[in-house]
Amino acid sequence: MDTTTRPNAVLTVLCGAFTGLVVIVFARLAFGVLLPPMRADLGLTYQQAGTLGTVTALGYLLFVLAGGAAAARWGPRRAVVFGLITVGIGFAGLSVATAYPALLALKALLGFGTAFSFAPMVSLLAAWYPEKRGFVIGCMSAGIGVGTLLIGFLVPWLQTLFGDAAWRVSWGLFAAAAAAVATLVIIVVRDPPGSRIAAGERPPSAEKWLIYRHPRMLIVGSVYGLIGLTYIVQAVFMVSFVVESGHPERTAGQLLAMMGLLSVAAGPAWGMLSDHWGRGNALLTAMVLVTIATMLPLIDQTLLMFFLHYLIMGCAVNGSFALIQASSTDQVAPRYIPIAFSFSTLVFAAGQFVGPAIAGWLIETTGDFRAAFLFTTAGLIVGCILTAWIRRFPRELAVGGPPQSEASTARDG
């Protein structure tokens, strides 16, 4: 690729970070913070509230492959803008909605829009900057970390200003942010060469089954799914495990904040390391650290063990996300990246979908949080074994013809 024709890296990566902030933090993670005042204001039951969270994940799961195919056909820039506008419409609707069926439809719309924006933006960054794709994808994940911290300060501040209406104001601000980021993407971002099909050309999506059935993509997708399952179980149940073990809720919150702060820098740091040391080497190291972190509270439930758990997770888990995302883009030619990444993200979304249900059943059945984290530890050990296979992947592309220098420079030998 002629590097003189590439767009400004800083601005393009910022667009990626802002996109992640809108479609992951605002559309997914912020709901947990806004739920208590929403439930009180609208009179929702806990079951209804839980369904609202599930329907967004389901919308993403159902349409993530369609989002990748759309990016391959339209070009990733158009797909990202379409997804951001869709998510913005969902935010605007939530700011005024009162009826439960409307809330369900709007929350599903958030998942649908995310499917058309997150994976295509990752694939765009990977195609434009193949020699440092670990770093640029890590920077995008850092935007999610920053956004998570932002939500923790923004929502309480809005509650002091607007009282019971703060949750509606929050959704309205999210809609404005989505519109602003969509405008920025239109102005700044350009599609990589060859990412859009020409008239009469065979679309990349026509060969999607070459990607879906390839052993390398199945291995990468499985690792991504295991990471997703582990992370969501940790996010949902670890704080409760800390409290049930006799430690104060405030302490659990401080440990969580420490992990969030560390994760902001972890994605870019691990990505940069992988660009120089090799993707498989860095990914295996991060996976081993996440496995150790998950095992520590199983050994003992002292404050020291929980502190070390959150410390190591903060240093490594965002790195594992960025590296497995980069690994999924390493396996195919640039024009197939949206489809390959969407496929691995589908497995990730499935892991996040089933993880809490399995972990919750284990906790209910055994009356012990350790059963859930023993389950995730076993999954991570399998993930480490599969990651060792990723280290041995050949440099040749799995799908897309002969080796291409722009697609292989970031892979380890």
CB 121 within 8 A of CB 76: yes
pLDDT digits (tens, 9 = 90+) for 181-218: 999 999 999 988 766 655 555 666 667 788 888 999 99
Q: What is the percent of the chain with per-residue pLDDT over 90, rounded to a whole number? A: 44
Checking if the pLDDT of 79 tops 90, the result is yes
Checking if the pLDDT of 400 tops 80, the result is no
Nearest residue to 140 via CA among 14, 279, 257, 11: 14
Question: Taking the complete model, does pTM exceed 0.75, yes or no?
Answer: yes
Checking if the pLDDT of 141 tops 50, the result is yes
3-state helix, strand, coil in the chain (%, to 5): 85, 0, 15
Checking if the pLDDT of 403 tops 50, the result is no
**C-alpha distance from residue 185 to each of 7, 83, 93, 130, 377 (Å):** 12, 11, 23, 20, 39
pLDDT digits (tens, 9 = 90+) for 339-371: 888 889 889 888 888 888 888 889 888 989 999
pLDDT at res. 204: 65
pLDDT at res. 201: 58
Mean pLDDT of 28-42: 83
Mean pLDDT of 6-12: 88
Mean pLDDT of 99-128: 92
Give the list of residues 6+ apart from residue 316 with CB closer than 8 angstroms, or none.
266, 270, 286, 289, 290, 293
Q: Name the one residue in this structure whose structure tokens are 């923004």.
A: 154
pLDDT at res. 56: 87
pLDDT at res. 410: 38
pLDDT at res. 401: 55
Chain centroid, CA 76 distance in Å: 17
Nearest residue to 23 via CA among 97, 89, 103, 102: 89
What is the token pair recorded at 301?
Answer: 């439930």
User: 2-16, 97-111, 190-204, 318-332: which has the minimum mean pLDDT?
Assistant: 190-204
Task: Please say whether the dihedral angle defined by the alpha carbons of residues 276, 277, 280 and 286, taken in this order, is positive or negative.
Answer: negative
pLDDT level of residue 7 (50, 70, 90 thresholds)? confident
Q: What is the percent of the chain with per-residue pLDDT over 70, rounded to a whole number? A: 92
User: 81-85, 168-172, 190-194, 280-284: which has the minimum mean pLDDT?
Assistant: 190-194
pLDDT at res. 2: 52
Average pLDDT, the chain: 87
pLDDT digits (tens, 9 = 90+) for 91-111: 999 999 999 999 999 999 999
User: 16-30, 69-83, 151-165, 284-298: which has the minimum mean pLDDT?
Assistant: 151-165
